[in-house]
Structure 1
Amino acid sequence: MHNDEALTVFVDPYQAKVLGELSISDSLYAWADETHGTFMIGDTGDKMIEIAVSFTILLVITGIYLWWPESGKTLKEALSITANKGRAFWRDLHSVIGVWISAILLFFCVSGLAWASVWGGSMLQAWSTFPMQKSASSVSSTITHESLNVPGLKQIPWGLEQSLLPESEKTKTTQQISIDSIIKQSQALGFTQFQVFFPSSETGVYTTSASSMSKDIENATDDRTVHFDQYSGKVLADIGYEEYSLAAKSMAVGISLHMGQWGIWNYIVNTLFCLSILLISITGVVMWWMRRPQGKMLLAAPQKPKNLKRWKQATWLLLPISLLFPLAAAAIVTVLILDRIILFVSPRTRALFD
């Protein structure tokens, strides 16, 4: 760290000469990561993204329900694009591609949503955090593993972020052991490529970590974090993938797949998936354009179809599932209330959307 800026410094291992440096917290990657996670507007952006991702999950579930083949249509036919022109073609293209990628889309949504502040941080991650108190005899009352993250980036395994850090034992000897000693101990424990975090206080610890989250390793099942007493070098806690909860194990593997860290095939699948998402988004806009209220240039819903039976059933399917995602449920209730208030205060407003 230098003036609150995280740096990567390149050093010649033979001459101990600094060859160059690169800002981590002010890099293009950090910018993309923060934009992806918060729109660069902090907690408000995080919640906006959580709402959008929660709605995406609801759209996938109800979309599959509406796609499900009716009597007289086989599953094979439903999974194929049968129409060749008009709105029927765009509908088939939208629904068929959507169904084929639905499992991957749900996976991306859930693995991303687990980082969000409410559904992830306050619920799933909080319930799945590794209980450091069971491994270390003394832990901090307030400082968590999240404090080890480089500003602007997440490098600590998901299942440890909210876990409290161990504390070094206070003794008459206050001489801190050297970083070289910690590196040698870490290598003796089997670490090859890893990061070492320095103690942040008199009771802080040295932490050696190798995880797919920090890109030190590719295989998430090899995640390992070890904490050392800063005065004696004693191992205070040694946490590997095997000690993670089921949710933490799923997230460790899921996040590395989400970020394309499992090799070239992972990049190819993720790229094709992203292109498919762009395509079904475009087809959705095209279908709306073809059904938009004629003669009006308004961002309004098309006219209701005559047969609303399945549509109503999908709505009743959506409502209870939405309760699993607090911000999505709150957004739905908020929109319904605002809709009623606006139409009550200004009935003429309805004409803008009819």
Structure 2
Amino acid sequence: MRDQVQSLLGGAPARLVIDLDAIAHNIGVLQRHAGDAMVMAVVKGDAYGHGLVPSARAALRGGAHWLGVAQLQEALDLRAAGITAPVLSWLHAPGVDFGKAIEAGIDIGVPAVWEIDAVAAAARRTGRTARVQLKVDTGLARNGAFGPDWPLLVEAAQRHTADGTLKVTGVFTHFAFADLPHHPTVQAQQLRFADAVRDCERAGFDLEVRHMSNSAATLMTPQAAWDMVRPGLAVYGLSPAPDIGGSSRFDLIPAMTMSANATVTKRVPPGQGVSYCHTYVTSRETTLVDVPCGYADGVPRAASSKGPVLIGGKRFTIAGRVCMDQFVVDVGDLPVQAGDEVVLFGSGADGGPTAQDWAEVTDTISYEIVARTSSRLPRIYRGEQ
């Protein structure tokens, strides 16, 4: 079986296995938390490294109503794949071709007057009405109209709506502390968003959706659901609030497993330095295993002498520095041979490490661990497609 898999992968030494049924399951969990609100599955960043189109289809199969992306090309790729579900794209720089989005029926998130003016100009060129959603900054101080810029954005939207170039379909914002549901900003941002919604309603916009909840808010702040929730990380089974609970605490199933096949094993004496600069030195005669996966594949170099792996049903830690294409594991006297599987992270159901485990040892978040996985790693999809 191992040889068959390797043949299908063209001999690729490492890979990602994506459980599409897990993604569909996680959408169901999020929908239960959302109540009557719709679910927008965020599939930006190649679906957090899981693969844009297969993950989007799995999310829709699980019951998602909308898809969300950061960049316009991601939305266009969904349309090119034949996906007709509503899509929102919300992060754009000057010079983007909004005409393509309008022709593809993509909702465009607009945080500033320059952008809504550019969308309106593109709508006039195409001869079609653009669908836009206004983004208000309620305290994250990132993308979105803030303070006095917000009424200016609403006024510009009114002007372009009046001449038929735009339809304002929604209003949205983003939490700063949703993973700490009792933080005072959570309530404060809800109040500011409610004011922004009223501003839009007074302006006469026929809003289809109002949304602010990310994964953490969807799971822990149900009163912020409005018409739709907008989870990202939780779609892929990872906990957005690990200090409160892991994936199983929220009934989420991690969808990604990263693994490789050992290339070389060797017995070495005590006192042998391992990998660059010999930051790890063996304490006794032992077996070293070379794993063909490194920072070019998304393995953090910060995981040197820290990253956990599963080999032969037992957990070990990387020995020495992570290199561009490989790292080494000291397995003691465990019998390991070339071709044996090394699991970097997965669901954890087998006792192996998870993306959260990797995040903790490298002082980052699980979002980064999965999203940084390289495109040179083949994705194998399991479950209904």
TM-score by length of 1: 0.25
Larger radius of gyration: 1
- Going by fraction, where is helix more abundant, 1 or 2? 1
- Going by fraction, where is strand more abundant, 1 or 2? 2
Higher relative contact order (CA closer than 8 Å, sequence separation 6+): 2
TM-score by length of 2: 0.24
